Amino acid sequence: MKYAFVDYRISEEEINNLSNLNCNIIKCEPCLKLYNAICGHPDILLHFINPSTIILHKDASDTFEASLIDLGFNIIRSEYSLTDKYPEDIILNAVNTKDFFMHNLIHTDPILLDAVQDKTLINIKQGYSKCSTAILNAKTFITSDNSVFKALTAHGYDVLLINPGNIELPGLDYGFIGGTCGMLDSNTLVFYGSLDYHPQKQEITNFLKRNNITPIYLSDTPLIDRGSIFFTDL
């Protein structure tokens, strides 16, 4: 069973197109302690340790936790609470692959940090590490953040650096590439919106093609940062 974790404000068009990809959609409930722009973003509210184990923010409702447990997920609560003040909103917003964990490690939730001690830990200043990073596979990434780019290339990873901006995030000036997308499978990257409206469309599509990845667009709009799409199989 494939699940897609999404912001609760996802559009009907996006819902329909995700459903056509044979995904069961899980809308993340909002955290009212956060500011509105990110209050429903999956990459702020939770973190996947593996396909079936989720660290969920401390103050999520018991109802939402129970709904995930009923589906077969293992739930661990964060030690810290989310708030609308940086850095208390970034405690779970980290990049986590099979080989490494990248975040502003001073502000990572202790429960999450303890769970990744067997991996290479990469410390960066960018607290919104996952928002800033589109993960294509364990070795390939897209970002607009220089600190992410420098850290990952220093470790030998293949990274496309794009310009900031040109991504919608209602309530803020612009969003980030990592928050616009998620890997459906090893060869398919699903976007909120379309690269057709992005000024670096050709660079991005060439990079995807070189890595045998096909983009799928959930709507014919500019890219929208809804806080990543987390696809997982149970």
- Bridging pattern class, strands 214-217 and 230-233: unpaired
pLDDT band at 50 (very low <50, low <70, confident <90, very high): very high
Q: What is the largest CA-CA distance in the chain?
A: 45
pLDDT digits over 5-23, tens only? 999 999 999 999 999 999 9
CB 58 within 8 A of CB 81: yes
pLDDT digits over 127-183, tens only? 999 999 999 999 999 999 999 999 999 999 999 999 999 999 999 999 999 999 999
pLDDT of 93: 98
pLDDT of 94: 98
| For residues 46-66, average pLDDT | 98
Separation of alpha carbons 215 and 186, rounded Å: 11
Would you give the distance in Å from CA 205 to the centre of its chain?
20
pLDDT digits over 192-205, tens only? 999 999 999 999 99
Phi/psi at 152 (nearest 5 deg)? -75, -40
Q: Hey, what domains does the chain have and what are their CATH numbers? A: 2-233 (3.75.10.10)
Whether omega before 87 lies within 30 degrees of 0, making that bond cis, reads: yes
pLDDT band at 58 (very low <50, low <70, confident <90, very high): very high
| For residues 44-63, average pLDDT | 98
pLDDT digits over 202-221, tens only? 999 999 999 999 999 999 99
pLDDT digits over 85-129, tens only? 999 999 999 999 999 999 999 999 999 999 999 999 999 999 999
pLDDT of 56: 99
pTM of the model: 0.98
